[in-house]
Every structure is written in structure tokens, then in C-alpha cells.
Amino acid sequence: MNILSKCYAFDYADKLKQEGIYPYFKAINESEGPEVDIDGHRIIMAGSNNYLGLTTHPRVVEAAIKATEKYGSSCSGSRFLTGTTVLHEEMEEKVARFMGKEAALVFTTGYLTAQGVIAPLVGRGEYLFSDKENHASIVVGNAMTTVHNSTVIRYRHNDMANLEARLSKVDYHTPKLIVTDGVFSTFGTIARLDEITRLAKAYNANVVVDDAHALGVIGPGGKGTAHYFGVENEVDMTICTFSKSLSSIGGFVVGEERVINYLKHKSSALMFSASPTASAVASALAALEILTENPELPQQVLGNAANVRLALKTMGFNVVDAEAAIVAVLIGDNEKTFRFWQALYDEGVFVNAFVSPAVPAGYQMLRLSFMATHENYHLDYILHTFKEIGTRLGVIAPDTEAVPATARELVPA
């Protein structure tokens, strides 16, 4: 037995592959956004975070090409040293203005942003309050603060009474940070930021929100969760990613200039990891400009998700009530989730399978996510396919309400 023994014994994925129901690491040959080619089959993509559908927008693609031509393929260093181009600075200025904050700092990914913001902020004897459903990047960021002897307290998901009970047990004057996803990445539910900011004020806490799934989707003009509740002045920092609505790769934090200045010089994740490429920043910048010029785009993605959520619910699926671009359909069992996923894939629909232990037992789900660029025929086809497979696998009863009869044949085989 040695440290690698667990790797040799791990056979869960092999078994799923043998059964032909393994849903991960599918290599995409070609992508047009709402439709992709995998293994020579055209498939409707309903599992991507490309919420505004901008990954293939000519302006976004052109910006990436031009930046590569000008700056080369890599910055070959961290933001701190050789990894800051004028594009990184332009992005920081524009995204801070968009989010209504003084300053911004661009990181390599959203995952690193969470660590890079939380870890340097919460120190010895200080407290971190974190929603139990927060994204893995926040969980890792939280864990990193414990090396400084901080205390991490997890509160029940979106449960404000539970948060208050926990806050009230800590001395008022002790520094505290509350961290929450804005739109929760698994279920698509929205954090109760109006209440969280009220509690933060009452108990002397600061607030950081992860708006990975909110930027470009909720709030006026897609400005995210704080703007959705009108509490942008009460939220101290928003962290976010370029990898969803901004159709690129990278991350950022916005906040007060003095806070950003501190993070610039104290954040290990920023100082010891190479910066995002100029092409990644250029495409995110182009996407941000398109969003700013087209504030109606979020309504398109929200409308698509809302239509599908309602239709699936009407058919009898157990769908989580939410308001974002994510539609979570609870299946409640690992194997059934994998079988449903495979049947959808075989019929030309790509969604994401979330199973236990990534989600609690009973909450295994098919998670759909929508784009502003999905057309009605994509949505109709997804609904028809869900209805047919859901009935076949006994997830819904056969006699539920019919969905609009369009489209199977409209989608190229």
C-alpha cells in the first residue's frame, strides 16, 4: 500500500464507461455556441456557461486575434511582474466602472480570484461566515484562511435566521467577512443580499459576493446581484469570472481602491500565478463592451431559462425555483441521472449531470444552462426530448401537459 493505491483502486468512472453512461470530458470538435459537434454529431448545448452567447461573436474573436498578434501568446509572468499589459489595465478600469466600484483587479481565473481575495483578508482571530452552498473556489479560499488561525463558520443555505444566530455569537468588534455566491452555481437560486447586507451592518461584518453566474444575467443591464437588490453600496467587494458571460478565461474583484491596492500586494494567487493572456483579456473586454451597449441581452437569456423552467415544471419534473440562467432538474439518484443524461446525449441534447457527493444525496440533478442565443427551436427540441425520456424512464407520469409541437426535424441531424 502506498499513497497511489487509492488511484489504482478507483474504478467508479471505469464502471460508468463500461455501461456506456459516462457523461464527462466529452471532446468538442466544433462550437457555434448553442450547437456543437461532438464525435461527428450535432448537439444542442444546454450545459455551457456562455450565457450571452458571445464566445463566437465576431468582435470577441477579432479582439483575441489582434491581442495575440500584438502581445504574443502569453504574458509569461504574474500580474505583479511581467503580466500586466495595457489591456489588463483597461479591463480593470472598465469593469470597475460597469460594476459601480472604485477599482478592480484582474486574476488568472475566477477560482484563483476567490482564494486571492479571501485568503489575504481574513486573519488571526477574525471570522468568516460562508453559505453552505458556496462554490468550491470559495470553500478552498475559506480553508486557506485557517492557516492564519481564522475561524470559518458555515451557515445554512440562504437561511438568514441561521446566519444571524451565528453572527450574534461573535463579539461585535471582532472583524468578520460574509461570503456568498450571488447566484448559486448548483441550483441557480439568488442569495438574499438585501438581508445579508442588513445583517452585515448590524453585526459589523463586511460582504463579498461571487457573481460568476450573475454578471450579464441578473440586475439592471446584467450588473449582478448587488444591483439586483439595489445594495451595491453595501456590498464591499464583488468577485467574478470572465469564463461565463464574458466569454473568456480570467477573473476579477471590484471594490474600494485602498482594498484593491492591498490585495495587489498581499494576494498570493495574484502574485505567484501567471496572468491571463492578453487575448483572454481582450475578448472579455470586447464582451463587456457588447454587454454595456446591449443592456437587453440579460433579458434574452433569462427569458429562455424561464420558459424552459416553467415548461419542465408543467410536465411534472421536479425543477428548482430560480430566476437565473440555470435550470436544475432534480432526478434524485446517481444511476438514473447518468441514464437520463446519456439518453439526452444520444438524442442530441447536452446538459450537465451533477451527482452525489458533489450534491447531497437526493439532489442528484440534470443541470441546464441557457444562452441569449438559443433559438425557440432549440428550446422546443430540449423540451420534447426531456418529455419523451422522462416518461420512458419513469421520472414523470405519461399524461402530463403537452409541450408545443415544433421542431425535432428543425434541428439538423
Ligand X SMILES: Cc1ncc(COP(=O)(O)O)c(C=O)c1O
Which residue's CB comes closest to ligand X?
A: 110
- 46, 52 Cβ separation under 8 angstroms: no
Select from 2-10, 86-94, 205-213, 326-334 the region that touches ligand X (CB under 6 A). Answer: 205-213
- Best CA proximity match to 189, nearest among 238, 237, 132: 132
Q: How far apart are CA 244 and CA 257, in angstroms?
A: 25
Among 33, 34, 83, 110, contact with ligand X (rule: CB under 6 A): 110
Which set of grid coordinates corresponds to residue 124? 488571526
Q: Is 181 in the site for ligand X (CB under 6 A)?
A: yes
Least separation in angstroms between CB 34 and ligand X: 20
Paired residues of 98 in beta bridges:
none
- 253, 115 Cβ separation under 8 angstroms: no
Q: Is 350 in the site for ligand X (CB under 6 A)?
A: no
Judged by beta carbon, residue 34 or residue 110, the one nearer ligand X is: 110
Three-class secondary structure assignment of 161-183 = HHHHHHHHCCCCCCCEEEEEECE
Q: How many angstroms separate the first and last alpha carbons of the chain?
A: 50
Judged by beta carbon, residue 111 or residue 187, the one nearer ligand X is: 111
> What torsion do the CA atoms of 89, 93, 95, 97 make, to the nearest 10 degrees?
180
Three-class secondary structure assignment of 129-156 = EEECCCCHHHHHHHHHHHHHCCEEEEEC
Select from 207-215, 259-267, 285-293, 404-412 the region that touches ligand X (CB under 6 A). Answer: 207-215
Select from 108-116, 152-160, 289-297, 314-322 the region that touches ligand X (CB under 6 A). Answer: 108-116
- List strands edge to edge, sheet with 318-319: 318-319, 326-330, 365-369, 352-354
Least separation in angstroms between CB 216 and ligand X: 13
Please, which of residues 370-399 interact with ligand X by CB under 6 A? none
- 330, 365 Cβ separation under 8 angstroms: yes
Among 109, 158, 275, 279, contact with ligand X (rule: CB under 6 A): 109
Least separation in angstroms between CB 109 and ligand X: 4
Please, which of residues 257-286 interact with ligand X by CB under 6 A? none
Least separation in angstroms between CB 276 and ligand X: 9
> Site map for ligand X, 226-255, x if CB under 6 A?
---------------x-x-------x----
Q: Is 137 in the site for ligand X (CB under 6 A)?
A: yes
Binding site for ligand X (CB under 6 A): 109-111, 135, 137, 181, 185, 210, 212-213, 241, 243, 251
